[in-house]
């Protein structure tokens, strides 16, 4: 993956294994990002690894798109995230953000609020070294899933590969919780809402759950401009339905 700085808000600072700062154009697998609070946080979302539709069905092929003229501010669902995730120094944002999406979906669909061991899943997929691509992470949680606190495994039963911003908004309107990429980082989008850009203009925003702990942002949340999602680089995964097997045993790391 080649790092190119794109978004002034995030100020990526890629860190190589020797601890020195990468330069633009160099190959990187994980980075630290300036979180806007003077601190740097781990990231590690790699570019899309598969062709569009190579892992999950494409959103627009399965569900009619909702055109922008019919968009509206969706209800706040921040109460559905009962468990905080903090990546700390691990470049595990793809597995962490998908775990956020899983846990929000679980609460909204009446499941008990339980922790998912995203760190164990990341170690199993990556070998505990470096970031992964969102589509690789989606395939992993479909086939292997996450170990659940108290026993069992939860897997992705139905998910969508989303290729446009209109598709991302449509997925949210159709009951998905989504994971998207930007600036070598992955986050979880819970709903579409509005906010203001730096010039005070009204724009569409994603109400976003980060994985940098509840001490970051607004208890781990923030609004992210829809137009800043780097969908062609990283893709977007829509979590539509999950399956839980209480008797399943998770593989050893």
Question: Tens digit of pLDDT for each residue in 150-171?
Answer: 999 999 999 999 999 999 999 9
The structure tokens listed for 187 are 């986050």
Distance from C-alpha of 161 to C-alpha of 165, rounded to nearest angstrom? 12
3-state secondary structure of 70: helix
What domains lie within the chain, and their CATH numbers? 48-245 (3.90.70.10)
Cβ atoms of 205 and 225 closer than 8 Å: yes
- Which residue pairs from 14-19 have beta carbons closer than 8 angstroms and sit at least 24 positions apart in sequence? 14/184
Reported residue count of the chain is 253
Query: How far, rounded to the nearest angstrom, does the alpha carbon of residue 22 sit from its chain's CA centroid?
Result: 24
Tokens 């995203």: give the residue.
118
Q: What is the pLDDT of residue 37?
A: 76
Distance from C-alpha of 169 to C-alpha of 172, rounded to nearest angstrom? 5
Distance from C-alpha of 9 to C-alpha of 160, rounded to nearest angstrom? 28
Query: How far, rounded to the nearest angstrom, does the alpha carbon of residue 168 sit from its chain's CA centroid?
Result: 12
Q: Report the range of poorest mean pLDDT among 23-27, 79-83, 94-98, 148-152.
A: 23-27
Distance from C-alpha of 189 to C-alpha of 206, rounded to nearest angstrom? 6
pLDDT at residue 7 is higher than 90 = no
Radius of gyration over every alpha carbon of the chain, rounded to an integer in angstroms: 17
User: Whole-number mean pLDDT of the chain?
Assistant: 87
Distance from C-alpha of 65 to C-alpha of 174, rounded to nearest angstrom? 9
Task: Using a cut of 0.95, tell me whether the model's pTM lies above it.
Answer: no
Q: What are phi and psi of 100, to 5 degrees?
A: -60, -45
Torsion of CA 242, 245, 249, 253, to 10 degrees: 10
Q: What is the pLDDT of residue 63?
A: 81
Distance from C-alpha of 219 to C-alpha of 184, rounded to nearest angstrom? 22
Give the residue ranges of DSSP H helices in the chain.
59-62, 93-108, 118-126, 134-143, 165-173, 231-234
Distance from C-alpha of 236 to C-alpha of 213, rounded to nearest angstrom? 22
> What average pLDDT score do residues 17-42 get?
60
Distance from C-alpha of 6 to C-alpha of 81, rounded to nearest angstrom? 29
| pLDDT classification of 1: cutoffs 50, 70, 90 | very low
DSSP 154-165: EEEEEEEEE-SH
């Amino acid at each position: 993956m080649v790092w190119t700085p794109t978004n002034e808000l995030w100020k990526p600072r890629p860190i190589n294994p020797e601890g020195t700062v990468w330069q633009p154009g160099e190959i990187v697998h994980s980075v630290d990002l300036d979180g806007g609070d003077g601190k740097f946080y781990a990231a590690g979302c790699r570019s899309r690894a598969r062709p569009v539709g190579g892992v999950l069905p494409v959103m627009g092929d399965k569900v009619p798109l909702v055109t922008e003229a019919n968009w509206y501010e969706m209800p706040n669902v921040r109460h559905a995230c009962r468990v905080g995730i903090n990546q700390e120094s691990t470049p595990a944002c793809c597995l962490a953000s998908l775990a956020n999406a899983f846990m929000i979906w679980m609460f909204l669909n009446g499941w008990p609020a339980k922790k998912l061991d995203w760190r164990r899943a990341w170690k199993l997929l990556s070998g505990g070294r470096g970031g992964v691509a969102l589509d690789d992470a989606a395939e992993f949680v479909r086939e292997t899933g996450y170990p659940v606190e108290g026993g069992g495994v939860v897997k992705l039963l139905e998910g969508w590969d989303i290729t446009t911003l209109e598709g991302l908004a449509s997925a949210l309107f159709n009951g998905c919780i989504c994971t998207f990429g930007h600036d070598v980082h992955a986050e979880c989008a819970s709903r579409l809402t509005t906010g203001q850009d730096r010039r005070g203009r009204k724009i569409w925003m994603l109400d976003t759950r980060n994985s940098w702990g509840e001490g970051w942002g607004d208890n781990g949340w923030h609004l992210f401009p829809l137009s800043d999602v780097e969908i062609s680089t990283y893709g977007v995964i829509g979590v539509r339905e999950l399956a839980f097997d209480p008797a399943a045993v998770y593989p050893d790391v």
